[in-house]
Amino acid sequence: MRGTVTLLSLVCIAALVIIPPLEAKTKQQEAQRLMKKLAKSRNDSVRADAAWQLGQMGATDAVPALMAALEDKHRSVRANAAASLWNLGEASKPAMPALRKALDDPYAGVAGNAAGALVRLGVSKTELVPVYKRLLAEERCRFRLQGLKGLSGLVPSTLLFHDALECSCSADSKFKDQSAAGDILRKLMNKNDRNMIPLILEALKAQGDYCVTDLVLSIVQYDPPVAEAVPMLEKLLKSSDVHVRRLTAQSLGMMKGPPLSTVPALVKLAQSDPDPGVRKEAATTIGDMGEGAKEAVPALIRIAQDDRWPKVRAGAIQALGDIGEEAREAIPLLRKALDDPDPATRVNARNALFSVDRENSAKFAKSPEYKLTPTVVSKSLFEDASALAQALSSKLPQAFQLTIYNKYAIAVAPEASSANGYGSFTYRNGAISGPDDGNPMCKKLFRFADYDFSLIPKLVKSAREHAKKPNGKIIYVALDRSVFCSKVGWRVCFEDAIVHYSHKGKLEQVIQ
């Protein structure tokens, strides 16, 4: 029941102009004007728009005119009239006979809207099953979706599965229709209904690696697990689609009693997949298999030592902890990882030691290593960024952007091992960790050595004055290119103001 004006457009308009509600008299006059158009205009589009607008404005006096419009020669007028009667709710009760007659309209849009109006008026969906089945047979998913909604809960889920899957994946459907069909599909694939399993397996086989997200997430939820799904999931681990590989690796860990037969495939993925997200998910899923995955321990140790990406190393360390005492050979690695510059790696190493080295866990809990107390930074980066400048120049000579917070900073720089060619690097307590996922606003590089970081304290002080915020909280200081990706400059950002400076610290603009 949506007109041609999108909700987003309405929101944008509302944000610009606040229009007071029409006075009763003005509203009645507008309704009369629209009813006249609906009855007399020779233009089909004008009549269709009038039929729609009467419902949107809640013109209950228009019910007789909308009833008459259900007999209009043009289908869009009839469909909009039925939609408006649906929207008017209880006021449309006199139109029930006309709406029942409209259920037989040759155009599915009319029949579907008439069915919606009748349900709102208290007619049981059971009575409308023949109409919904007819809608389900339509080629266009917008109509089939109405059939799916109407029949859900009234007929076996197996009868609706293929239509819900097809409409959720249809490239010809609008996104909102795809999304609604996906919602229905997920409800149909109830983990307590094992009758759905053959259909899901059949679809997984037929779909290849296209539009399988819901199918994969569903099939791994069954308890006991569906053994027949494992070969299909292993095949998806080799998909050319990185998102499918990542999802499948993660989903295998959701199975009740993850299949140990997948360990070799997951180890290979964790070691060599080009995407760090896939490698991380593969490693942590191995850990979900517990001590049964002990054969993967040597590979996980190598990954935790050698992988360039902290999140992959942290995932491998977490997996070693989940495997437990069968991973005792990793104890030296785990102790060394307690000093890793990446916080997640340090935390995972500490947690893993408790399960891997249980013999010494009580003793370890009392040691300073257990607390993982970070080095205290005496000054904020807003006061002294000299160490940051030195670290960046030595490890990341070039970058696309730099965001400096009070106690840490994040730079986005080129990263060959990333899927998109970019990576983010975090400076904290004198060390730089990374890469992690990153995507710059502007894709033109600059060199850190060309900029004076000793300006930062002066810029912070100056920004407070120019923004007239002597005690305002500064969120971050940025070094990057302008919105139009031209010159590099500094920005000091408050919660509700931004002060722009040139790369040499000259004031350029204050935005509040």
Residue 310 and residue 434: Cα distance in Å, rounded?
A: 6
Q: Would you list the domain boundaries of the chain? A: 1-122, 259-373, 386-511
Identical fold at 1-122 and 259-373?
A: yes
pLDDT value, residue 372: 74
Look at residue 381 in the predicted model and tell me its pLDDT.
Answer: 95
| Cα–Cα distance for residue pair 439/446, rounded to 1 Å | 15
User: How many Cβ atoms sit within 10 Å of the Cβ of residue 302?
Assistant: 14
pTM: 0.81
The reported pLDDT for the residue numbered 377 is: 59
CATH architecture classification, 1-122: Alpha Horseshoe (1.25)
* CA gap 372, 316 in Å, rounded: 19
Residue among 329, 377, 373, 331 nearest 352 (CA): 331
**3 state SS of 490:** strand
What are the tens digits of pLDDT across the range 238-254?
A: 999 999 999 999 999 99
Q: Tell me what pLDDT residue 172 has.
A: 84
Task: Tell me what pLDDT residue 368 has.
Answer: 81
The alpha carbon dihedral of 324, 326, 332, 336 has a sign of negative
**What pLDDT score was predicted for residue 379?**
79
Query: What integer pLDDT is reported at residue 491 of this predicted model?
Result: 95
Give the mean pLDDT per block of 10 residues along the chain (512 residues): 33 36 74 94 96 95 96 96 96 97 96 97 96 96 95 96 96 90 96 95 93 96 94 95 96 87 95 96 96 96 97 97 96 94 93 93 83 68 93 91 95 93 93 93 92 95 94 94 87 95 94 90
pLDDT digits (tens, 9 = 90+) for 117-145: 999 999 999 999 999 999 999 999 999 99
Selecting from 2.130.10.10, 1.10.4080.10, 1.10.10.970, 1.25.10.10, what CATH number does the domain 259-373 have? Answer: 1.25.10.10
